[in-house]
Amino acid sequence: MNYYSLNNIAPTTTFENAVIKGLAPDRGLYFPESITPLEPSFFETIETLSNDVIAFEAIKQFISPEIPEAILKTIISETLNFDFPVVNLTESISTLELFHGPTMAFKDVGARFMARCLGYFNKDNSNEVTVLVATSGDTGGAVANGFLGVKGVRVVILYPSGKVSTIQEKQLTTLGQNITALEVDGTFDDCQDMVKKAFLDEQLTSKMQLTSANSINVARWLPQLFYFMFAYKQLKQQHKTIVFSVPSGNFGNVCAGMIAQKLGLPIHHFIASNNDNNVVTRYLKSKSYDPKPSVQTVSNAMDVGNPSNFIRIQAIYKNEFETLKENLSSYSFTDEETKEALKEIYSTTNYIADPHGAVGYLGCKSYLKTNPEAHCVFLETAHPTKFLDVVEEVIPAEIPLPPQIQAVIDKQKVATEIKDYTAFKAFLTQL
């Protein structure tokens, strides 16, 4: 499979090069040249297949032939060694739990998959690869865990000071070894801008091999299509009209779900559920795409003012606004509405959601008002203990810390404070 830049200037390239480079030379995101639907029989019998088989059949066209099938199967098996349960809450609403991995967030899938792909490509390379990742919370922890100890790979994580939860911060600042954390005096957008600048800085790129582990990287983004298939596998027998409500920040998840749909997965509709960072909600109403600086909310992983992956979504729909709107709805919700939703979910179903899941739940409720025949699945993207300060404020229940959290909570944070790109560049040149 070849990949092309969505800026349409840089030449097409291989999966390997797209993974290693992260971003195309013309600053565009890489996108697969083609998407070939799977045979209808695959989805007709999907409930009989293991998750590993489903994932392999879904992803192999995007990877082959650069990673041998036997190795790809091993990568998948090592990536997906935890559960992806769908939990039914009401007759019309379920949640897909994506927090059973090592850092208890959905990003464990993409981070683990990418780490293993990069490890394979770098196995005979004497040059160290430096992975840069901007995080609004969960990406950093997942990437740190996924890449920990990977030979020939160094990871530098940028996160906004005071804008991630205590547990998220511990997960990305306490591992050591080949993982370094930079605490940025700014927002997630500032972190993301620094990473993008570094890729285009010839003084850096001439001296070191840089790549990204954000969802701009195809190896981080594409595997996120797996769990939409896993959810369908569990719901297929009970529901005909399945809709996914996706808490959306950088729009990698909903975009990956749309790729799954292009492969033939019978998803009826998508909902992009936003907090106050709602550029896409506004776009679908006005047809005007107007990014704004991000604002801080209780669902911090979604605090993205200019989502990188939305250009991929536009590419899927060939920039046809009306076609996109037929398949994507979007709603945005305030912090107060999010907290009320946490209370409502707990009081009516005894289920404890995290703030991002609560936003997804509200998206379901909004959609079901005019589409009562649908069954709506919201993504529970992280474990509620990662947001204890928010959850315990509104829910009268003590949430025990899972082992994954207990393992880091008492460790000493190690992070370097930086203020701007100049400081970031100076740090990288000293590595």
107 an active-site residue?
yes
Q: What is the DSSP string of 234-250?
A: HHTTT-SSEEEEEE-SS
Residues 375, 241: Cα–Cα separation, whole Å:
6
How far is Cα 248 from Cα 72, in angstroms, rounded to an integer? 29
Distance CA 80, CA 60 (A): 15
Residue 145 in tokens: 């865990």
- Tokens at 195, concatenated: 């990473």
Output DSSP code: residue 126: -
**To which residue do tokens 């992983």 refer?**
301
Measured CA angle at 328 (ends 326, 329), to 5 deg: 105
The catalytic position among 21, 107, 233, 386 is 107
Q: How many CB atoms lie within 10 A of CB 44?
A: 11
Question: How distant, in Å, are the alpha carbons of 63, 192, 277, 278, 370 from that of 298?
Answer: 37, 20, 12, 14, 28
DSSP state of 382: B
Q: Which two tokens stand for residue 350?
A: 């005894």
Contact 266, 43 (CB under 8 A): yes
**Cβ-based neighbours of 20, under 8 Å, separated by 6 or more:** 118, 121, 129, 209, 211
Tokens of 166: 């205590």
Q: Are 263 and 242 in contact (CB under 8 A)?
A: no
Question: What residues are paired with 153 via a beta bridge?
Answer: 129
DSSP 58-118: HHHHHHTTSS-HHHHHHHHHHHT-S---EEE-SSSEEEEE---STTSBTHHHHHHHHHHHH
Identify the three-state secondary structure at position 367: helix
Calculate the CA 228 to chain-centre distance: 13
| Helix %, strand %, coil % of the chain (to 5) | 45, 15, 40
**DSSP sequence for 395-408:** --S--PPPHHHHHH
Catalytic residues: 107
